[in-house]
Amino acid sequence: MSHDAVRIGLVSTSDRASQGVYKDEGVPALEAWLTGALLNPITFERRVIPDERVMIETILVQLVDEVWCDLVITTGGTGPAPRDVTPEATLAVADREMPGFGEQMRRISLEFVPTAILSRQVAVIRKKSLILNLPGQPKSIRETLEGLKTPEGKTQVAGIFAAVPYCIDLIGGPYLETREEVVKAFRPKSAIRPPKT
């Protein structure tokens, strides 16, 4: 069975990681999770950059307009500190905002910490690409994408990635297929494509 190829941009915004002060954990965590969740062949475009708004905007535009990423995920830089400018940079390059993603990310994180309300993650569409801001910690990345499950494996709080494949369908991107034991992509019945042979 063949699956559409997908190109995904992974961007870590961190002054210290970009300077080599410590090893970036966000991009490897994203890559590992996406490799385990998607059945599609993936080409990753990885960037580790400082918390500089102009640079973040430049990289996001490059990944969408020049590298043709179907999905771009940033990690880090979404809190209230003065250097946390990832949401502003993301909104600056947007054609449209998708507020439901940020709402659900905060909903998931509030299950763990009251400071989740300080998080300012956003999601936007630029051309035919979806750009998502995610938290910086690997555990939070997985919870945000996958959602929360009961000990029996039943979904307790839906993760945001369940909605990503259909969103990418609607903006003209490739047909993303997931491993259901990790996350089940939700599409209306009319949007489900029969398997290609």
Structural domains of the chain, ranges and CATH numbers in brackets? 6-191 (3.40.980.10)
Within 8 A by CB and 6+ apart from 9, the residues are 44, 45, 47, 60, 63, 64, 67, 69, 71, 72, 73
Q: Residue 126: how many CB atoms within 10 A of its CB? A: 20
Tokens found for residue 149: 């499950």
What is the Rg, in whole angstroms, of the alpha carbon atoms belonging to the chain?
16
Per-residue pLDDT of the chain (197 residues; tens, 9 = 90+): 689 999 999 999 986 666 665 678 899 999 999 999 999 999 999 999 999 999 999 999 999 999 999 999 999 999 999 999 999 999 999 999 999 999 999 999 999 899 999 999 999 999 999 999 999 889 999 999 999 888 887 888 899 999 999 999 999 999 999 999 899 999 999 999 987 76
Handedness of CA 90, 81, 31, 147 (dihedral sign): negative
